[in-house]
Amino acid sequence: MIQADGDQLEQLLINLLRNAADAALETRGGVKIGWVKTGSQLEIRVEDEGPGLSNTANLFVPFFTTKPGGSGIGLALSRQIAEAHGGSLTLENRKQGTGCLARLRLPLS
């Protein structure tokens, strides 16, 4: 069980899944989502088979976007929501194959 605002976590997950789906469309790849309990944390993983991250320096900078017509607030807001719940959000290139791995970690109650 986690103590969290359901609406905020829903928005965070929508942002991650939308980004993963957009990336996967570029390469006609797939998206996987899963979770695991690790110690006192819940880790939710979103993996895509898109092109991966070319520049990770500005991922969480508000209003920075690489998408045509993007607003650049999705990942910044998502990280802010994770941290407000005592958790964290990271993105990295997958080690196996192409694409990106997003990890949301939240404390368990």
CATH number, domain at 77? 3.30.565.10
In a domain, residue 96? The reply is yes
Does any domain span residue 27? yes
pLDDT in tens, 36-92: 999 999 999 999 999 998 877 777 776 566 666 666 678 999 999 999 999 999 999
Structure confidence at residue 74 (pLDDT): 86
Closest listed residue to residue 103, CA positions, set 25, 30, 16? 16
* Residue 85, in any domain of the structure: yes
Residue range(s) defining the domain that contains residue 11? 6-107
- Tokens found for residue 3: 């103590």
Q: Are 67 and 26 in contact (CB under 8 A)?
A: no
The pLDDT value given to residue 40: 95
Residue 67: per-residue pLDDT: 66
- What is the spatial distance between Cα 38 and Cα 70, in angstroms, rounded to a whole number? 34
The phi and psi torsions of 89 (rounded to 5 degrees) equal -135, 125
* Count of structural domains, the chain: 1
> Is pLDDT above 70 for 93?
yes
Residue 69 lies in a domain: yes
| 1 falls within a domain | no
Q: Which amino acid is at 85?
A: H
For the entire predicted model, the pTM comes to 0.88
Q: At what angle do helices 6-27 and 74-84 cross, to 10 degrees?
A: 140
